[in-house]
Amino acid sequence: MLLHMSTWAEIEGFLARSKTVVIPIGSNEQHGPTGLLGTDWLCPEIIAHEAQKTGDIIVAPTFNVGMAQHHLDFPGTIALRPSTFMAAIGDWARSLAHHGFDKLYFLNGHGGNVATIEAAFSELYAEASYAGRPRGFACKLKNWWDLKGVMSLANRQFPAGHGSHATPSEIAITQWAYPDAIKAANYAPQIAPTGPIREAKDFRARYADGRMGSDPGLATPEKGGELVAAAVTALIEDVAAFSAEETPNAA
């Protein structure tokens, strides 16, 4: 079930049987010469939207901008500073909690978001603690590649040239979902360099075409489909386990 394609009455009906909501979260940032700018929010959205076709889960609108300041010297990148990102995640969560959702499952598509999302959770838990609210409210962060079986599959598919940015696995997922948007380029070098992540000018100087350690030329829609299938199975299981956590005194 997709929240944005539902009515308020349908959401009220869903809340009568579940208080768990899945929120795809990512970043809108350059992904090398062939990766879509939306890659990091498209991947969790593709997986979550696919999962809700067979699992009884509700998926909130995708939070599609995040921690991308180091990519700002590549056109099309949109970034939130950490304080803005935390404030926005907080209000997103407070809105859903206001309706009765007390288990918020963030399915993340951007490694650079992790520290700030966790800090936003800490702010929400601090509020609950100072207010002395009853148990029950919980946030969970899961990177899609950390879903059970996904990284091991990616390692088998891409034994070399996976890298850490504009990876063939994430690009393969977008190719599977959007085959009309597949791009081609001559990569030089075939596998991109690796190194630290600092500010925008340093990033562009180190990583001329935007990739880090990756060879996106290895991506195929078929491999993307395999990754999505593994991620969907694991996501449905993981959301069910989170939802089933005991919350005595939750009322």
Binding site for Ni ion (CB under 5 A): 39-40, 170
**How far apart are CB 100 and Ni ion at their closest, in Å?**
33
Q: How many residues does the chain have?
A: 251
Rounded to whole angstroms, how far apart are CA atoms 166 and 27?
13
Question: Whole-number minimum distance, CB 40 to Ni ion, in Å?
Answer: 4
Q: Are 250 and 136 in contact (CB under 8 A)?
A: yes
Considering beta carbons, is residue 56 or 73 the nearer one to Ni ion? 73
Question: Nearer Cβ to Ni ion, position 103 or 110?
Answer: 110
Cβ 143 to Ni ion, closest distance in Å?
A: 10
H or E stretch at 46: helix 39-54
Please say which residue, 20 or 34, places its beta carbon nearer to Ni ion: 34
Least distance CB 171 / Ni ion (angstroms): 9
Distance CA 237, CA 152 (A): 17
Report helix, strand or coil for 59: strand
Q: Are strands 103-108 and 138-143 parallel, antiparallel or unpaired?
A: parallel
Comparing CB distances to Ni ion, the nearer of 20 and 69 is 69
Query: Element (H or E) spanning 216, and its range?
Result: none
